[in-house]
Amino acid sequence: MKNESTEHYDVVVIGAGVSGMYALHHLREMGLSVRVYDGASDIGGTWWYNRYPGARVDGPGSPFYCYTFSEELMKEWEWAETQSDQSAVLAYLEHVADRFDFRRDIQFETWVEDARYDEATQRWTVETHTGARASAQFLICAVGALSTANKPDIPGIQDFAGECYHTGQWPHEPISFEGKRVAVLGTGSSGIQSIPEIAREAAHVTVLQRTPQYAFPAGNRPITAEEMAHARENWDVLREKMNGNVAGFPCDNQERSALDDTPEQREALYERLWQRGGFNFFLELYSDIATSEEANLSLADFVRAKIREIVHDPETARKLLPDYFVITKRPILENGYFDAYNRDNVSLIDLREDPIERFNTTSVVTRSGEHPIDMLVLATGYDAISGSMLRLNPKGRGGKSLKERWTDRFHNYLGITVSDFPNLFMIHGPGSPGVFYNMPLGAERQMDWIGQCMRHLSDQSLGSIEPTVESEDAWANEVSALANITLFPRTDSWWTGANIPGKPRYFSVYLGGSIYYQRINDVKDKGYAGFTFEPKN
């Protein structure tokens, strides 16, 4: 039987991942009462769910994929590797939760089933599957940009009787691959990280590839004591650099064009970055790889040559060669992915030449024949960026749902707010730099802005804030104008929604991270230009 009582807070936060945890911290510091809900049984969000073999940070990584709000926190935590694995990131987040006593304000294993705005009271009410219900003036959706799993609808897939796991919903108990014939569907970051790990144990791995990928050496290695000491001693400078960098990492923004260099000089730079590995590859590249076709081709050719060099069988190498602009799908770092194809127990099916016809109880059947398998790993990604907001489907003014509002595109202003949904704020939503930015830092910076906005309402005795439709339209044009300078919209990717049948197809991320934070602060400094307010009822 459902418990019908309603608890009242200043703010309800949905999601206890990296963003929701910081939101809780910041709101508490503001002296507000907060309730956080999460469907998982502990903190961590993406890092709680993604336990597949090989899962690790692939950004410039530790120690910069972390919160920056507490200097003590930064200084006391030891990172072991440059690209921490999932368990190390989760251990860090658990430490943060313990240190700041987050869990007392989080209700776990509680799925928010409905969120509705009441115009008379200017408050949101959320209903959960347990019957717990809460109301709050503000609703913060920290629901994750990569958390709604994409499970492909392939004929017969439900009939497959073997083990089947999605990488983003990996079981908590150990999964053994020993002696098993495993098919991995999907070759994005999750597939490329997991395939070499699975291949080490499994009897056979069949990779089902729809689109070949450019992947770059991860270059993961232990962090030295000197590097940790340097980061700690120079934290103020590094943090400032992170705030000024286009992607939120302590790197210089690049200004040199690939076309300023000779082919030999370009080759030398690519080779040096390739040998070192790591995400800095992309941050230290020429400035125009994502904007000039010619510059892009120079790097694409370099990577294709590397794939041919690493993969011994020429036919397999041919199937692995991407034929679109490099880095226009999310760049991927690999730890032995291409080399895995040199093993006897790994084979590749190119679904463009040999598509899946169906699954049956024991096999995947492609045009060329039947491939018996014991396990299917779905590394098929997410309904990214907008999917989790639509799954929540909040109801705003007049009971209008987000699904009704977001039919043709994901209307928003500043990537944070939506008209007709007063007092609702998104972290890492569409229209924000979200997935193109250091996500913990981005969450902090967006949440700080949201906190200032809440403070403004309170200081001015205002009951609600929401953007105008005109400001949403202008923001949409700005997001698209920035994207259209680049080659990104010209490739099918989850950035453009192309991976989900029927999803609006456009590039919904705000490019140019540090510019974004100037933009949203300008809006604030101009008295929240583009927003409308209502007095307190």
Q: Which residues bind ligand N01 (CB under 6 A)?
A: 55-58, 146, 150, 152, 167, 185-191, 193, 210-211, 330, 351, 379-382, 435, 494, 499
Classify residue 116 by burial, with Cβ atoms within 10 Å: 0-12, 13-18, 19+: middle
Tell me how far, at minimum, the Cβ of 193 lies from ligand N01, in Å. Answer: 6
Distance CA 283, CA 245 (A): 9
Please say which residue, 278 or 467, places its beta carbon nearer to ligand N01: 278
Q: Which two tokens stand for residue 245?
A: 């960098």
Please say which residue, 155 or 222, places its beta carbon nearer to ligand N01: 155
Q: Are 146 and 46 in contact (CB under 8 A)?
A: yes
Please say which residue, 332 or 426, places its beta carbon nearer to ligand N01: 332
Tell me how far, at minimum, the Cβ of 515 lies from ligand N01, in Å. Answer: 21
Q: Are 274 and 216 in contact (CB under 8 A)?
A: yes
Tell me how far, at minimum, the Cβ of 51 lies from ligand N01, in Å. Answer: 12
Tell me how far, at minimum, the Cβ of 400 lies from ligand N01, in Å. Answer: 30
- One-letter amino acid for residue 231 of the chain: A
Tell me how far, at minimum, the Cβ of 330 lies from ligand N01, in Å. Answer: 3
Tell me how far, at minimum, the Cβ of 216 lies from ligand N01, in Å. Answer: 12
DSSP code for 401: B
Tell me how far, at minimum, the Cβ of 50 lies from ligand N01, in Å. Answer: 7
Please say which residue, 89 or 299, places its beta carbon nearer to ligand N01: 89
What DSSP line would sit under 319-349, residue for residue? HH---S-TTSS--EEESSHHHHTTSTTEEEE
Tell me how far, at minimum, the Cβ of 398 lies from ligand N01, in Å. Answer: 35
Please say which residue, 74 or 385, places its beta carbon nearer to ligand N01: 385
Please say which residue, 11 or 509, places its beta carbon nearer to ligand N01: 509
Angle (CA) 19 22 28, round 5°? 140
Classify residue 263 by burial, with Cβ atoms within 10 Å: 0-12, 13-18, 19+: exposed
Distance CA 272, CA 285 (A): 11
What DSSP line would sit under 366-389, residue for residue? ETTEEEE-SEEEE---BS-TTHHH
Please say which residue, 126 or 378, places its beta carbon nearer to ligand N01: 378
Tell me how far, at minimum, the Cβ of 266 lies from ligand N01, in Å. Answer: 26
From residue 415, alpha-carbon distances to 89, 210, 510 in Å are 26, 31, 8
Contacts of 188 (CB under 8 A, 6+ apart): 213, 329, 330, 332, 379, 381, 494
Please say which residue, 193 or 464, places its beta carbon nearer to ligand N01: 193
Distance CA 63, CA 158 (A): 42
Please say which residue, 122 or 363, places its beta carbon nearer to ligand N01: 363
Residue number with the smallest Cβ distance to ligand N01? 188
Alpha helical stretches, state H, 30-151: 46-49, 71-76, 86-99
